[in-house]
Structure 1
Amino acid sequence: MIIDWSELLLENKKEGIDFGLQKKNIDYKQSANTLFNFMTKFDYLVKDIKDMKLYPRYVVENVEYLKLKFGNRSIGNVAFPMLCFCDINLHNLPLHVENDDLNGTKGYGKYGIGLDKNWCERKGFQPITYANQESKFSIEFSELFNENLDLLYSDLPLKEEFSNFILDQLRLIKPLKGVMNRDGEWFNKNFHDEKEWRYLPDMTKVEMSDFINDATKPREMESATLNKMSDTLTNENSIHLDLDLECINYIFVDSSKDRDKMINVIKERFGDDIDKCMNLASKIVIYEQIARDW
């Protein structure tokens, strides 16, 4: 039996089935409708709200599970600019933001901003792929990446499109479980629980590295250097994520004192525009108060 797909599609369209659903705003039922970015310092959040921007920074990712090599040197860690968000429902946020002393895991901090997920989709945010080290996917990806590294090491011609594609894939892959660096300290982490999405800025207009690794650029991978490079990125307007009032669903602060300070920041940002001040101030959530009711 031969199926006439054009006729089938036509019939479905007549019945009201829309094949362009991906471009429509459809609420999520088993995950959050907000993507959250948490941080450890109130000052970071103040800058984001005062500027109504989020600033990508160089983030270190451990890739030992992929067994990548450049010549005879193993690539253990890589770094590239990004913004990271979690797709976690509100009642599970304490497991994400607070320290877990029992398992020796650090949280991301109680200050944060929650952005509308549909808005994030339109801005090009992408959920990452979690790789099982023992899977066919991980093994084949590692082989392809190493083949490309061998060509690069041997100074042989590369297919630029292919090379860029697998590099982009590396930016969007994380192991199910692994190790994470925070403030110079490594600890174990279950990454899959974070349901991470990433915003990867377009670095084509910026004269800075868009990808660094510890095999070819070990000095640039030092934390002090990465911090300086990240600070420099704040001056590159082309890579910033500009915010608007409607995309912000939540602003998380730790205490009522922080809330009062944030209200003053909002007043300073929007001046005499009472509607905008009230709009944004109404989205402030005091973490310690609401966490008791989750």
Structure 2
Amino acid sequence: MKLSSNTLFHFTREKDFLVSILRNGIFIRYSLETYGKILKSKSELVLPMSCFCDIPLSQISEHRKKYGSYSIGLSKEWGLKNGLSPVLYTHAKSETAKVLNTLSANLENIFDIENSEENQKLLKEYGYKDEEIDLVNSGQYLASKQVREKNEELSKQLGHFLKYVKPYSGTGYSNGNEFRQVKFYDEREWRYVPPKELLQKIEIKDIYKREFYTDEVKRRYINMRLAKHKKLTFKPKDIKFIVVEKEDEIPPMIEKLREIFGQNSSYNDLMILNSRIISLEQIIEDL
């Protein structure tokens, strides 16, 4: 039995949402992520992302209970081309968590910043004049400024990296619902996270507090702001599966595919796309 799929699945709860994805692409949404005790200073964060999994269809029964019975499956080649990455699973007592906590707490100490008073005393002992010492110290100031700028850049990169970290198990959230005692490791998650530069350009944050997720109005506002500027698009050839809940939803979905892709696809391409529709009923019964 295969442990992973060559397809990345994005699940949703409603048929209309799936049709919207086929028509418009996959929008990035802010999600409430719990870090538990992995990061001592960051137990919960609201982060922008789009989530996928590479669970084989024969093993999606539990996954769809949390995330929905409708799904689009896209090739891993498409995922790699669009910057998707598997998340890093860890736990509070792991070496990974220790390193992350050390980096996040002591980033400013990664580089040794020279003590200007000690250097000034040393320079005098070697016979440097005051004006020469001032010139040296000005160089040290510039070096210290460069170090601070480098630390700021490293801090930004570390913050982006943390968006790809997930606890081995814990409390999860989906569409406002809370799920306790979830073993995230079984979800085999891949995700896309937009770069901070894009978010700064459209004047929204890369991290929000819990209230921006639990408050539906605030959550919808930041999601709509982001949706205007970024989404993940695909072509019919990138689609490997379209999963609907029931068998009788397949004929209407074929009509939707003809409506969405018919003008820009050949007859053969459309027939291949139609053949990639499968129902959850069939998966559960036969796979």
The normalised TM-score by structure 2 is 0.77
1:47 counterpart = 2:47: no
1:195 counterpart = 2:191: no
1:240 counterpart = 2:231: yes
| Structure 1: gaps (5+ residues) | 1-28, 70-74, 99-106, 151-156
1:209 counterpart = 2:176: no
Matches of 1:213 and 1:270, distance apart in 2 = 37
Matches of 1:270 and 1:121, distance apart in 2 = 24
Residue-pair matches, total = 243
1:94 counterpart = 2:85: no
Deviation at 1:139, TM superposition (A): 1.7
CA deviation string 1:110-164 (max 9, x = no partner): 10011111221122211111012101210221232133599xxxxxx56222112
Asked whether the equivalents of residues 68 and 145 of structure 1 are also in contact (C-alpha less than 8 Å), the reply is no
CA deviation string 1:37-81 (max 9, x = no partner): 111111111111122x11111111012323433xxxxx3311222
Deviation at 1:210, TM superposition (A): 4.3
Matches of 2:268 and 2:203, distance apart in 1 = 40
Tell me what 2:279 maps to: 286
2:221 to 214, 218, 228: 228
Counterpart code for 1:115: L
Asked whether the equivalents of residues 97 and 110 of structure 1 are also in contact (C-alpha less than 8 Å), the reply is yes
- CA root-mean-square deviation: 2.5
Higher gyration radius (CA)? 2
Counterpart code for 1:97: R
Counterpart code for 1:227: R
After TM superposition, the structure 1 = structure 2 runs for residues 117-266 of structure 1, keeping only pairs within 5 Å, are 117-148=76-107, 157=148, 159-188=151-180, 189-205=182-198, 206-214=201-209, 219-224=211-216, 225-236=218-229, 239-266=230-257
Matches of 2:36 and 2:207, distance apart in 1 = 15
Matches of 1:124 and 1:82, distance apart in 2 = 12
- Alpha-carbon distance change, 256 to 60 in structure 1, aligned in 2, over 3 angstroms: same
- Alpha-carbon distance change, 35 to 178 in structure 1, aligned in 2, over 3 angstroms: same
Counterpart code for 1:92: Q
Of structures 1 and 2, the one scoring higher in RCO (CA 8 A, sep 6+) is 2
After TM superposition, the structure 1 = structure 2 runs for residues 260-275 of structure 1, keeping only pairs within 5 Å, are 260-272=251-263, 273=265, 274-275=267-268
Tell me what 2:71 maps to: 112
Asked whether the equivalents of residues 115 and 249 of structure 1 are also in contact (C-alpha less than 8 Å), the reply is yes
Q: Specify the SS of the correspondent of 2:153.
A: helix
1:84 to 39, 51, 64: 51
| Structure 2: gaps (5+ residues) | 110-147
